[in-house]
Amino acid sequence: MPRPIQALIHTDALTHNLARARDAAPDARVWAVVKANAYGHGIERVFQALRGADGFALLDLDEARRLRELDWRGPILLLEGCFEPRDLELCSRLDLWHVIHREAQIDWLAAHKTQQPHRVFLKLNSGMNRLGLRPQAFRSAWARLNALPQVDEISFVTHFADADGPRGVEPQVQRFLEATADLPGERSLSNSAATLRLAGTDARVRADWVRPGIMVYGSAPDFPENDIAHWGLQPTMTLRSQLIAVQQLQPGETVGYGSTFTTQQPMRIGVVACGYADGYPRHAGTGTPVLVEGVRTRTLGRVSMDMLAVDLSPVPAAQPGAEVTLWGRGPRGAVLPIDEVAQAAGTLGYELMCALALRVPVLTV
């Protein structure tokens, strides 16, 4: 028998969450962001559930090729554009739309021989200082692109640094509006946080296309201010396993490497077949939420490579073989949002879902 650990991908939840993005940004078209192998879910596993999207956005050319192999004929956007000139050949062959975020990418395009002119998304660095042309360089870049026979349509894109928090997006929106004023073309600004928090009421932020990623995968971009229940999102990934041992401890005994947890009273603990080599965060200390038979309890002590310990006080009848939900959907309708586990480990749902280890068998349900 294999180890009892499994990940489940919930296709109904993916479709549901994508619909929430649409509701949040009425009249905008929706890129489903599927970078990082669909945030660790697997592009092939999510594709059917998300094919109602207007397009797919990602950044790895091999992932773009995989989407075309799934027979997706609609738009694909390369969020980082081309990394080297010969990437343009794949863009021509697979009809990939690509971001232009620096001048060299325009030079490459000008030297590229193609029958099929490209659709490009010119990116403004509106303040995040990651990718994009600065406002002063934006118009001349647009003029260069506009003069190229290799280009048939120019759209505009920028990315927010603070859509999930109190700093907000206003200065970046202002810079984007100024830089693109009077230029013809479609516009895209919003990630999940901006889509959920702003796109419904602010047409400038909604624009022509929104780019939701994390919300599609059932994580709240602005947790803990808001959780997935608040946004009407459902977990799309469950990590589940079983108890493989139970220990009855006396007061003053310790649990796990480093003996970081000491019992105060007699205590039953369970040992779960899940550790950091499965992608569970090692930094999740004592008290990280976990479900046993759908009942909420907590982890105890350090996470080891293949195992972790849980407090069985709220589930006194639990025996080896009991179902343990590390995150996602548990039995009897119980839900443990990945965001709560991530918070306990000092990270984000993004990182946990992307870090699901290769050794964990994945079931699409």
Ligand X SMILES: *Cc1c(COP(=O)(O)O)cnc(C)c1O
Residue 221 binds to ligand X (criterion: CB under 6 A):
yes
Residue 212 binds to ligand X (criterion: CB under 6 A):
yes
Write the CA distances from 359 to 240, 269, 355, integer angstroms: 14, 26, 11
Choice among 39, 113, 217, 257 that is catalytic: 257
Q: Which of 211, 240, 302, 329 binds ligand X (CB under 6 A)?
A: 211
Taking CB under 6 A as the criterion, which residues in 111-170 touch ligand X?
159
Question: Which range, of 133-141, 210-218, 256-264, 312-320, touches ligand X by CB under 6 A?
Answer: 210-218
Active site residue 276: no
**For 334, phi and psi rounded to 5 degrees?**
-70, 145
241-259 burial code (b ≥16 CB/10 A, e <16) = bbbbeeeebeeeeebbeee
CB closest to ligand X, residue no: 213
Q: Which of 105, 180, 192, 242 binds ligand X (CB under 6 A)?
A: 192
R_g of the chain, CA atoms, integer Å: 23
> Where are the alpha helices (H) located in the chain, listed in sequence order?
11-24, 35-39, 43-50, 61-69, 87-94, 103-110, 135-146, 170-180, 192-194, 203-206, 228-231, 338-344, 349-354
Asked whether the beta carbons of 310 and 324 are under 8 A apart, the reply is yes
Question: What torsion do the CA atoms of 130, 93, 43, 216 make, to the nearest 10 degrees?
Answer: 50
Q: 151: which residues sit within 8 A by CB, 6+ positions away?
A: 109, 117, 118, 119, 120, 145
Residues paired with 245 in a beta bridge: 271
Percent helix, strand, coil in the chain (nearest 5)?
30, 25, 45
Q: Which of 155, 191, 297, 325 binds ligand X (CB under 6 A)?
A: 191
Nearer to ligand X, 199 or 244 (CB): 199
Taking CB under 6 A as the criterion, which residues in 64-93 touch ligand X?
79
The type of residue at 78 is: L
Active site residue 350: no
Choice among 35, 276, 280, 350 that is catalytic: 35
Nearer to ligand X, 40 or 212 (CB): 212
Q: Which of 213, 235, 275, 289 binds ligand X (CB under 6 A)?
A: 213
Residue 356 binds to ligand X (criterion: CB under 6 A):
no
Question: Which range, of 41-49, 206-214, 299-307, 355-363, touches ligand X by CB under 6 A?
Answer: 206-214
Q: Count other C-beta atoms under 10 Å from residue 149's C-beta.
A: 8
- In the complex, the smallest distance separating the C-beta of residue 215 from ligand X, rounded to whole angstroms, is 6
Question: Which range, of 211-219, 249-257, 266-274, 285-293, touches ligand X by CB under 6 A?
Answer: 211-219
- In the complex, the smallest distance separating the C-beta of residue 210 from ligand X, rounded to whole angstroms, is 9
Nearer to ligand X, 46 or 315 (CB): 46
3-state class (DSSP) for residue 52: coil
Q: Which residues of this chain interact with ligand X, rule CB under 6 A? A: 33, 35, 79, 159, 191-192, 211-214, 221
Residues forming the active site: 35, 257
